[in-house]
Amino acid sequence: MTCQTQLKSAQDALKASEERFRLMYEKAPVPYITLDENRCILSVNPAYERLLGYVKADVLGASIYDMLPPSEAEKLRSYFSYINTPEQIQDIGLNVRRKNGALSRVLFSSFQETDTRNNTHAMFCILYDITERLKIQKGLLQAQQLEFTSTLAGGIAHDFNNLLMAIMGNISLAQLFLNPEEKANKILERAESTCNQAKELTQQFIILSKSGSPSKKPSSITKLLKDSSAIGVADPRVDVDFDLPDHIWKIEVDEQQMRYALTHLMTNAVESMPDGGKVHVKIRNTVASSDSPLPAHPISSGHYLHIIIKDQGKGISSEHLPRIFEPYYTTKELGPKKGMGLGLTTVYSIIHKHDGFIFIESEVNQGTTVDIYLPVIPG
């Protein structure tokens, strides 16, 4: 074989290798980014465009830090200062900004291309979208917490309720021997009132427990919402704006449990508006399927009644929002007639036992929106 033939064969092999790597880059199911030594974007693959919504023309020449919120950009700068040899491949979790402004959680991994003098010419980065994985993990964690709480609640509720009945019975007997105007009778009345509050707490334990399975029957969600509003909205400075169409699908619910859940949400809305305001309550028929526009929230395929409760209150900070359904987690002051940390956990349990979904979105001083999806009666 002549030198010319060998050279031609080597060139063909190099060209074929370059084509293979180009196809791997272009067809890869995960986003790739190539950066220069100044961390400016040299190229991105189609998977990057699909994930974040940008086309190549939007990002070529831009700094990778411009794709991130400021705090995440600082994390990435620190990461790059640590990854200083071509052998190092280290992952870091980042929130990256999509073109529509939403954030996605990614696992960011990179490695360097260097010359013989160890000078960096390019940085190759891979982004693994873990947004859905984290949602699934969060859902599993919530389910495990709820399972533990229901087991604990079931072990406590009935015995605690029996003790309360004995205490309240003895209070009633003692009152028979006292004049209604006596000081001791007033003290017993306060004790009885406290026992009634404890009885309400016991009812929450029973709902949370496995024995608190709903007894469903066809129900009017319109009536339940109006009843819950009448109970939960006691402040005259708060108005309720109902948007309840006539032609809504039928549902089966445990009316007592659902009334508790809706009343608690209404009460929360009122408490978030100490100076008054408006609560908007809306119902819509919603279908979740691949053949129709999907709802804004991740729910299983099916037909649902979508209930939206929106207030104009103080909102919930991003620090507290991820934990609002956790048992015994509350931002309220603890004590009688105050936060017990079980209210939203009980609401979540009720919706979950009705095979429904609940989502809460909120920003400080921008109000809170609660979205509930309840499956409708088939047919």
CB-based contacts of 241: which residues, under 8 Å, 6+ apart?
278, 279, 280, 281
Residues 221 and 73: their CA atoms lie apart, in Å, by 47
Residues 28 and 95: their CA atoms lie apart, in Å, by 21
Cβ contact 304:375 at 8 Å? yes
Domain with 287 in it: 214-379
> Would 26 be classed as within a structural domain?
no
Give the residue from 174, 195, 212 where a domain finishes: 212
What angle (nearest 5°) sits at the alpha carbon of residue 34, between those of residues 30 and 38? Answer: 140
> Would 13 be classed as within a structural domain?
no
219 and 208 assigned to the same domain:
no
Please list the rounded mean pLDDT of every run of 10 residues in the chain (379 residues): 58 63 74 85 86 83 86 84 60 83 82 64 82 73 67 67 84 86 86 80 68 79 89 86 90 89 90 90 86 70 92 87 76 51 80 89 90 89
> Would 22 be classed as within a structural domain?
no
**Residue 185 phi, psi (nearest 5):** -65, -40
226 and 364 assigned to the same domain:
yes
113 and 141 assigned to the same domain:
no
Structural tokens at position 224: 């339940």
45 and 166 assigned to the same domain:
no
Q: Of 218, 220, 229, 252, whose CA–CA distance to 354 is shortest?
A: 252
CA distances from 62 to 41, 75, 76, 146, 314 (A): 6, 18, 15, 46, 38
> Would 8 be classed as within a structural domain?
no
Give the residue from 190, 212, 234 where a domain finishes: 212
Q: Of 14, 48, 56, whose CA–CA distance to 28 is shortest?
A: 48
CATH label of the domain that carries residue 333: 3.30.565.10
Count how many domains the chain has: 3
Give the residue from 160, 183, 212 where a domain finishes: 212
> Would 4 be classed as within a structural domain?
no
> Would 311 be classed as within a structural domain?
yes
Q: Rounded to an integer, what is the distance from CA 216 to the centroid of its chain?
A: 26
CATH label of the domain that carries residue 83: 3.30.450.20
Structural tokens at position 105: 């959680």
206 and 349 assigned to the same domain:
no
The overall pTM is greater than 0.85: no
Report pLDDT for 344: 84
162 and 182 assigned to the same domain:
yes
270 and 377 assigned to the same domain:
yes
At residue 233, the 3 state secondary structure works out as coil
Based on its alpha-carbon atoms, the radius of gyration of the chain, rounded to whole angstroms, reads 30
85 and 155 assigned to the same domain:
no
Burial of 46 (0-12, 13-18, 19+ CB in 10 A): middle
Report pLDDT for 67: 81
Structural tokens at position 258: 């659902």
> Would 198 be classed as within a structural domain?
yes
Report pLDDT for 281: 93
170 and 54 assigned to the same domain:
no
Residues 211 and 216: their CA atoms lie apart, in Å, by 14
Report pLDDT for 210: 57
CA distances from 354 to 146, 187, 189, 253, 351 (A): 14, 42, 38, 7, 5
91 and 182 assigned to the same domain:
no
> Would 11 be classed as within a structural domain?
no
229 and 356 assigned to the same domain:
yes
CB-based contacts of 228: which residues, under 8 Å, 6+ apart?
259, 262, 263, 265, 266
115 and 246 assigned to the same domain:
no
Report pLDDT for 336: 44
Name residue, tokens 């003290």: 187
Q: Of 278, 261, 260, 282, whose CA–CA distance to 269 is shortest?
A: 278
Residues 253 and 314: their CA atoms lie apart, in Å, by 31
